[in-house]
Chain A
Amino acid sequence: EAQVTQNPRYLITVTGKKLTVTCSQNMNHEYMSWYRQDPGLGLRQIYYSMNVEVTDKGDVPEGYKVSRKEKRNFPLILESPSPNQTSLYFCASSATGRKKTQYFGPGTRLLVL
């Protein structure tokens, strides 16, 4: 089954404790992206990757890191999480091309205390 998976789905952590949210897709997509969703603000793009070893900043990259060492995986790293990073995070992937459909993972709910 074609899908985007994210782990963990739910996470409660404390300020400053490094964490990684994994994202994996099995559709051989070149493009992958991370978003956060907050009430009233919609989805905001954190980082995206056009292909392996190619990443770029979205609108809200501060406090986040990403890497794209393999085509299927695109982990999101919070080196020192803060309470303002409490949010719902979505990973997405698509084939190349601006009109291509983005397929989203199920989301990761993060609470930073």
Chain B
Amino acid sequence: RKEVEQDPGPFNVPEGATVAFNCTYSNSASQSFFWYRQDCRKEPKLLMSVYSSGNEDGRFTAQLNRASQYISLLIRDSKLSDSATYLCVVTVATDSWGKFQFGAGTQVVVTP
């Protein structure tokens, strides 16, 4: 079983619509959580960190549910430029924060 799992999609979303997807993690000791964005096998770029109380950055909202061990990303008012693969990233173990585990990514396709 993978440590970090994501629905690969694709999620086909009309422009202007809302899309949401989750990422589950298996290690209950996971400490930090992030969403990265990756365009077409280019380098990943940080979209946002995920905080315990949930956080918002413009049209993007991230939530963390420690009890059920998942994080979510919601994109409102989708733009064509939001088409990308979204990677869920988790750090594990308090004594080795340098280890990161990535999900395989969720592909989002925003259509006109």
Contacts and interface: CB of A to CB of B under 8 A. Distances in A.
B100 A104 contact: no
A88 B32 contact: no
A45 B42 contact: no
Main secondary structure of the interface of A (DSSP, over half): strand
Interface in B42-86: 42-46, 49
What bracket does the count of chain A residues touching chain B fall in?
20 to 34
B38 to A, nearest CB: 9
Contacts of B96: 56
Given A98-B91, A99-B49, A107 B42 contact: yes
B43 A41 contact: no
What bracket does the count of chain B residues touching chain A fall in?
20 to 34
Main secondary structure of the interface of B (DSSP, over half): loop
B15 to A, nearest CB: 27
B41 interface: yes
A42 B91 contact: no
A16 to B, nearest CB: 27
A59 B101 contact: yes
A42 B105 contact: yes
